[in-house]
Structure 1
Amino acid sequence: MVQKIVVSKLLNSTRPLVFAMIHVPALPGTPSNTLPMPAILKKVRKEADTYFKNGVDGVIVENMHDVPYVKPPANPEIVSAMALASDQLVKSRDAHHPGALTGIQILAAANREALAVAHTTGLDFIRAEGFIYSHVADEGWIDGCAGELLRYRSAIKADHVAVFTDIKKKHSAHSVTSDVSIQEMARDAKFNCADGAIVTGSATGNAASTRELAQVLEVEEFPILIGSGVNGKNARDFQKAHGFIVGSDFKIGGDWKNDLDATRISKFIRQINNLKRE
């Protein structure tokens, strides 16, 4: 199979690539929803424009404000709303930063739905939960889905869409896999045909472990991204990673619930441009 463009860019970059998060406002049918869809999409487009104008390498849309999350399948209104949000992301990319990378995560663990949206709207990758092994999240038990998900990807001819999976993911208990190291889990993710792995801290905004990063980087030719807690103060600690997924640090006061702070974004990008992976 031809290497996916996002995988190639990650492996060949001389510095970590920066993927910024758009936390889509609470969607219809969820407890915190207050905005109609036109207002939600306007905010998504504004944030995408801000990110691309400030030089990020990619942007991910995620329905993080839909708390509390439910296990898959995601409701139809969530999937359709995220498809519309993804369309706004793609339009912003094409207007401001052609060639930038775009991705999606649909919570919680709605990997099949995210893959469908990515394929139909032209995104490059999805962030998947529960790809391999099982764990207990705040939504309940999440089963591994690699076999079913990748068969579905083949069935809809979406093999160009990369799948990056969290391993030992945040907001979860992993006692059932306590005898499986994070390095073993990364190797198994690669064996089960994931396109890369994501290492996080214990919760949103919490930094990952540099020791765990070093362990998973021993898996050759396999992109490793840091999925939480990267900021201007600690980015250098993780400079050997292939990519950073950044949400909280790009918001006012470093709080994921707040609006974007363009000054924080541009300052962070300037810092990262001076890092070297080697």
Structure 2
Amino acid sequence: MKFLKVFERLKTNVIGMIHVGALPGSPLSRAPLSEIIETSCREAEQYTQAGVDGLLVENMHDVPYVFEVGPEVCVCMTAVCSAVRRLCPSLPLGVQILSSANRAALATALASELDFVRVEGFVFSHVADEGLLNACAGDLLRYRRHIGAEHVQIFTDIKKKHSAHALTADVSLAETARAAEFFLSDGLIITGTATGVQTDPEELRVVARSVKLPVLIGSGVTYDNVENYVDANALIIGSHFKKDGRWENGVDPDRVQRFMEKIHELRDG
């Protein structure tokens, strides 16, 4: 499986989220880039010391999000990701650039020598809180080929959070998953309705039965409910790993360590 070219195990890989500080040009931007890089690297070190299986870097503090990001975002994210890569030369690393700036994410991944990107709006149109988002699979995969980044895997959200799916109400989650597989996604991400909201465990079973692709959980995994997701190929965890369980706070090493101890117990079991 292509997934195993990035991750060492097939199931329950834990991917810790690094939410970089608000970047230059965004409304909440306050810190210089050097400080943002330093904080991101410190969190990467905390995650690796706790034994996570991978990291995902995201510009979540750049609210409100826009569909078309400027070159400053791509350049700054490349600087952050490159610094994290130097610190973690062998750990699986990915990037997501909000909102759905998927070409910028691919370019950043290529320049920073990352392994994967998280992509929104891969198949079917939907209404996100930023506006109407159309599918990008055809253009994005051609862009990946054009820049020589075919080794960068594309993990795609389906029926994504923070969105209304009335436009595709007659298209089931399983049908959406099969469409993403047909359009050559490398892995599917399912979530709850918003950041930190628990993903329905039944949806994991539905998607896993419908496709042969890896299935990742993209929101709401905690110490108390992780048993529901042991069959997932990876767990992307942000909120639960932060102080007080809030995504906007810094990483809490004790929460990460405690979670990883439980993961090891579940794997051994």
Equivalences for 1:77-96 in 2 at 5 Å? 77-94=72-89
Q: 2:64 aligns with which of 65, 68, 71?
A: 68
**Which segments of structure 1 move beyond 6 Å, counting only runs of 4 or more?**
none
State whether structure 2 residue 39 is matched by structure 1 residue 43.
yes
Confirm or deny: 8 A CA contact 2:23 2:62 kept in the other structure.
yes
Structure 2: 5+ residue stretches without partners: none
Deviations 1:198-223 (A, max 9, x none): 00000000001111111001134310
Q: 2:20 aligns with which of 24, 37, 51?
A: 24
Structure 1: 5+ residue stretches without partners: none
In the alignment, the residues of structure 1 paired with residue 194 and residue 113 of structure 2 have an alpha-carbon distance, to the nearest angstrom, of 30
State whether structure 2 residue 123 is matched by structure 1 residue 128.
no
Equivalences for 1:72-221 in 2 at 5 Å? 72=68, 74-94=69-89, 98=90, 100-221=91-212
SS at match of 1:275: helix
- The residue identity in structure 2 corresponding to 1:263 is D
In the alignment, the residues of structure 1 paired with residue 6 and residue 211 of structure 2 have an alpha-carbon distance, to the nearest angstrom, of 15
In the alignment, the residues of structure 1 paired with residue 82 and residue 144 of structure 2 have an alpha-carbon distance, to the nearest angstrom, of 20
Equivalenced residue count is 269
- The residue identity in structure 2 corresponding to 1:77 is E
Q: 1:259 aligns with which of 244, 247, 250?
A: 250
**Alpha-carbon offset, residue 120 of structure 1:** 1.3
SS at match of 1:91: helix
Change (3 A) 1:84 1:56: same
SS at match of 2:45: helix
SS at match of 1:31: coil
Confirm or deny: 8 A CA contact 1:242 1:277 kept in the other structure.
no
**Alpha-carbon offset, residue 14 of structure 1:** 5.4
In the alignment, the residues of structure 2 paired with residue 197 and residue 276 of structure 1 have an alpha-carbon distance, to the nearest angstrom, of 22
Give the share of equivalent positions with the same residue, in percent.
Answer: 46
Confirm or deny: 8 A CA contact 2:195 2:220 kept in the other structure.
yes
Q: 1:248 aligns with which of 221, 235, 239?
A: 239
Confirm or deny: 8 A CA contact 2:181 2:211 kept in the other structure.
no
**Alpha-carbon offset, residue 54 of structure 1:** 1.1
In the alignment, the residues of structure 2 paired with residue 212 and residue 179 of structure 1 have an alpha-carbon distance, to the nearest angstrom, of 17
What is the match of residue 214 of structure 2?
223
Confirm or deny: 8 A CA contact 1:7 1:223 kept in the other structure.
no
**Alpha-carbon offset, residue 7 of structure 1:** 4.5
Does 267-276 or 229-238 show the bigger shift?
Answer: 267-276
Deviations 1:1-52 (A, max 9, x none): xx64x45455x72541000000000000111111011111110111111111
CA-based RMSD of the aligned residues comes to 1.6
